[in-house]
């Protein structure tokens, strides 16, 4: 089972837009960076490289889902508003 969930692999159809927004949109970049930091922390916990309670791990997983949803929403809205950008 794959432990990490990189955004570019989660949404390959939005690869170009993710890169563009990451480079040009400060809010998207903040969410993107936090998503990957949370994802990496979850991986460290699941590989027993970092200790956490079950509640802490569950909270991190819920945060990752929330960030992923927020990022996906931005991607969908941006895709509609930026027709010149390939998805």
Residue 82 has a pLDDT of 72
Residue environment code for 62-86, b if the CB has 16+ CB neighbours within 10 A, otherwise e: ebbeebbeebeebbeebeeeeeeee
On whether the CB atoms of residues 73 and 17 are closer than 8 A, the answer is no
> Mind listing the pLDDT tens digit for each residue in 16-74?
999 999 999 999 999 999 999 999 999 999 999 999 999 999 999 999 999 999 999 99
Instruction: Give helix 15-24 / helix 26-46 axis angle, nearest 10°.
Output: 110
Which helix (H) or strand (E) is 39 found in, with range? helix 26-46
pTM of the complete model: 0.86
């Amino acid at each position: 089972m794959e432990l990490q969930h990189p955004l570019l692999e989660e949404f390959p159809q939005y690869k170009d837009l993710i890169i563009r927004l990451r480079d040009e949109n400060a809010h998207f970049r903040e969410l993107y960076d936090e998503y990957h930091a949370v994802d990496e922390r979850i991986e460290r916990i699941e590989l027993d490289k970092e200790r956490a309670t079950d509640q802490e791990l569950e909270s991190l997983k819920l945060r990752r889902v929330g960030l992923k949803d927020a990022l996906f929403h931005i991607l969908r809205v941006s895709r509609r508003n930026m027709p010149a950008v390939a998805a």
